[in-house]
Structure 1
């Protein structure tokens, strides 16, 4: 292995310059040298030292509202618009001592040692976006903040606090800044000039067991009226609460979402052996797509039944469809679903696979209905699209990593 010598300097938390000299392994992938001093972790990455706060910190997530539509609108200019967007954010956040943890596509993740700095940075960013001269488009970002004690790793931060901050951002709208109750408590008496707080109440966020009490920053001179938050309780659903966030599976989640959003895909079957994570993946994707199905998303647990004749009554019972003296249950269900933009998640269908033709009947009579099915075997229907769920990733049992890294494996 080759090593390269680096010399550079950085400022410590008390603003004194610190000079360092070290040798870092020089490979095709960046290697990170970790040193700890006081309340900060210093990372040497390609010779630059970056100080990341630890302990109780405020996490800030952003992304561009409607980035896909923006890409379609500006075409080849998108990379330039994205670069301008990142520059506006970095200028605002670094002005208030924000540390850039990660940037992917149109999304950014920053960490702040002080909640008041994070709020000031968010306000500065929204004001900068409002005044920036964008080329023939209006670019708006949504920002979410949460204060907690995430665990620091060589690749960033991990823990429920990170998931909560990201989820808070994801329910907002372009131009909106959302705060958790913890962050609000720390900043409510120290807000920037011209800024106030609006209580938005409690909302259920995807993948989180408890409802979250959210607040919005009201910034003088900027829009303050936004549509309802894109929380799980915005549209009807019965999705069960998951005890932990979904670890990994990013590629699978993205692929399944993309398939379900295609107009020509109305029946998607997640296949795989028992224990491969089909149900968990299906529930996660369903929650992610809650905004796309305005009439609701409903989970139908078929595990307790083995009689195919009970599938339609079970779906009807889940949706609250009552029996009729003049129509069959199938006709009742079709009438109920006929005009609804709705997603049904049918779990464990392999036990009642002979009921598959009933699904074809529902799709034929309900033009806005989509079905997400989990099964150990395909249904062999003409409208069916299959997604084979790969097995969960496992660590090398002969060389187990540390507990933090171990917790990030999908099967752990």
Structure 2
């Protein structure tokens, strides 16, 4: 029995079989088991017990956990075939302000900002994937809901003041098919969304061409907003890690 457990051909066949199962066929590696979730927690514990040496038992065990995790994430979502809209946010010049404001004021500001922008995201079906100090990443199943959330969040943020300081936030939205792995979303489309946000300068909300094309024709009209093409300043550095033909638009009230 132990001999079969270590046979390379048997292990290879099991790995091949895992490619046909729902979810991530590499489930069990450090990247795929980070983040919360029952299947991921069990996988982390199992990895400590069985180690990372190749074995048939390891492949069978992680294959079962792979299917469990796929069921939790709605089968197939981890394969990068479902279109989602990725949102990135970032407070403009936050680091410079926080150096002089101090920790207490900084923490107070971040709490107010979270109360302003996270409820509109959740109310419109968005999922906050991670918080990154003064910004966050969220995903939506619908670009229209993402735009609704962005506008509502910016409206709420206009009411935030801490010691006379009014935060400015830039936001970026891009629609594509990133991969969900280990509670995070990875891939070129995530990078593009982050770069779209960077084009927001001193507090603009930016959309990629992909997001604009995926919007319902009535959405912007109903929201009383319009878009204008983004043109990079003559001395501004080009955005890195994005397609050369990427078109970006600035969202603004009519």
Q: Same fold, TM exceeding 0.5?
A: yes
- Whether the aligned pair in 2 keeps the contact of 1:57 and 1:111 (CA below 8 Å) is yes
Max radius of gyration: which structure? Answer: 1
Higher helix share: 2
Q: Which residue of 2 aligns with 1:35?
A: 70
- Whether the aligned pair in 2 keeps the contact of 1:180 and 1:212 (CA below 8 Å) is yes
Give the whole-Å Cα distance in 2 for the aligned partners of 1:59 and 1:112. Answer: 7
Can you give the 5+ residue segments of structure 1 that lack an aligned partner in the other structure? 1-21, 44-52, 221-412
What is the CA deviation profile of residues 119-143 of structure 1, one whole-angstrom value per residue up to 9, with x for unaligned ones? 0011011111112343320101100
What is the CA deviation profile of residues 92-138 of structure 1, one whole-angstrom value per residue up to 9, with x for unaligned ones? 21121110111121120000000000000110111111123433201
Q: 1:131 to 1:160 in 2, by over 3 A?
A: same
Give the whole-Å Cα distance in 2 for the aligned partners of 1:82 and 1:125. Answer: 14
1:152 pairs with one of 180, 190, 210: 180
Give the whole-Å Cα distance in 2 for the aligned partners of 1:38 and 1:101. Answer: 14
- Whether the aligned pair in 2 keeps the contact of 1:202 and 1:214 (CA below 8 Å) is no
What is the CA deviation profile of residues 308-367 of structure 1, one whole-angstrom value per residue up to 9, with x for unaligned ones? xxxxxxxxxxxxxxxxxxxxxxxxxxxxxxxxxxxxxxxxxxxxxxxxxxxxxxxxxxxx
- Whether the aligned pair in 2 keeps the contact of 1:61 and 1:109 (CA below 8 Å) is yes
Give the whole-Å Cα distance in 2 for the aligned partners of 1:129 and 1:146. Answer: 21
- Whether the aligned pair in 2 keeps the contact of 1:58 and 1:146 (CA below 8 Å) is yes
Let me know the Cα RMSD of the aligned residues. Answer: 2.9
Q: 1:56 to 1:64 in 2, by over 3 A?
A: same
Give the whole-Å Cα distance in 2 for the aligned partners of 1:202 and 1:186. Answer: 23
- Whether the aligned pair in 1 keeps the contact of 2:112 and 2:160 (CA below 8 Å) is no
Give the whole-Å Cα distance in 1 for the aligned partners of 2:224 and 2:69. Answer: 40
SS of 1:212's equivalent in the other structure is coil
Give the whole-Å Cα distance in 1 for the aligned partners of 2:202 and 2:113. Answer: 13
SS of 1:34's equivalent in the other structure is helix
- Whether the aligned pair in 2 keeps the contact of 1:201 and 1:213 (CA below 8 Å) is no
Give the whole-Å Cα distance in 2 for the aligned partners of 1:86 and 1:211. Answer: 34
- Whether the aligned pair in 1 keeps the contact of 2:178 and 2:189 (CA below 8 Å) is yes
What is the CA deviation profile of residues 155-197 of structure 1, one whole-angstrom value per residue up to 9, with x for unaligned ones? 4111110100001111212331000001011226122422111
Q: Which residue of 1 aligns with 2:251?
A: 217
Give the whole-Å Cα distance in 2 for the aligned partners of 1:202 and 1:74. Answer: 32
- Whether the aligned pair in 2 keeps the contact of 1:202 and 1:213 (CA below 8 Å) is no
1:57 aligns with 2:97: no
1:74 aligns with 2:101: yes
Q: 1:97 to 1:58 in 2, by over 3 A?
A: same
Q: Which residue of 1 aligns with 2:230?
A: 200
Across the two proteins, how many residue pairs are aligned to each other?
Answer: 187
Can you give the 5+ residue segments of structure 2 that lack an aligned partner in the other structure? 1-37, 46-65
1:324-335 mapped onto 2 (5 Å cutoff): none
- Whether the aligned pair in 2 keeps the contact of 1:169 and 1:178 (CA below 8 Å) is yes
Give the whole-Å Cα distance in 2 for the aligned partners of 1:144 and 1:40. Answer: 28
- Whether the aligned pair in 1 keeps the contact of 2:173 and 2:208 (CA below 8 Å) is yes
Q: Which residue of 2 aligns with 1:128?
A: 156
Give the whole-Å Cα distance in 2 for the aligned partners of 1:86 and 1:54. Answer: 30
Give the whole-Å Cα distance in 2 for the aligned partners of 1:165 and 1:176. Answer: 14
1:90 aligns with 2:111: no
Give the whole-Å Cα distance in 1 for the aligned partners of 2:76 and 2:232. Answer: 35
Give the whole-Å Cα distance in 1 for the aligned partners of 2:158 and 2:202. Answer: 11
What is the CA deviation profile of residues 228-258 of structure 1, one whole-angstrom value per residue up to 9, with x for unaligned ones? xxxxxxxxxxxxxxxxxxxxxxxxxxxxxxx
Q: Which residue of 1 aligns with 2:25?
A: none
1:140 aligns with 2:168: yes
